[in-house]
């Protein structure tokens, strides 16, 4: 991998947050709705969508993807 190919954790978190918000809004869901679907607390989900949670575990990505019925990789698309 070349140095120019790297991406920071902060940038990845921002991409995931934007995709979470877009997916939620496209489905007409509230943050509370998505939190329920994903089996997590509303405030926890809110931090992920707001990108204030910089270090998101892969297990959390999997949990959210399962709740939204998407491929986890969809959350990383630019």
CATH number, position 49: 1.10.260.40
State the residue range of the domain holding 71: 3-76
How many separate domains does the chain show?
1
The pLDDT tens digits of the residues spanning 11-63 come to 888 999 999 999 999 999 999 999 999 999 999 999 999 877 667 889 999 99
Give the contacts of 71 (CB within 8 A, at least 6 positions apart). Answer: 65
The pLDDT tens digits of the residues spanning 37-47 come to 999 999 999 99
Categorize the per-residue pLDDT at 5 as very low, low, confident or very high, splitting at 50, 70 and 90: low
Give the contacts of 39 (CB within 8 A, at least 6 positions apart). Answer: 63, 67
């Amino acid at each position: 991998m070349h140095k120019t190919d790297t991406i920071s954790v902060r940038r990845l978190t921002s991409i995931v947050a934007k995709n979470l918000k877009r997916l939620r809004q496209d489905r007409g869901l509230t943050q509370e709705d998505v939190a329920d679907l994903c089996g997590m607390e509303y405030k926890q989900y809110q931090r992920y969508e707001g990108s204030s949670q910089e270090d998101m575990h892969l297990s959390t990505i999997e949990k959210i993807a399962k709740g939204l019925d998407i491929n986890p990789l969809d959350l990383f698309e630019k």
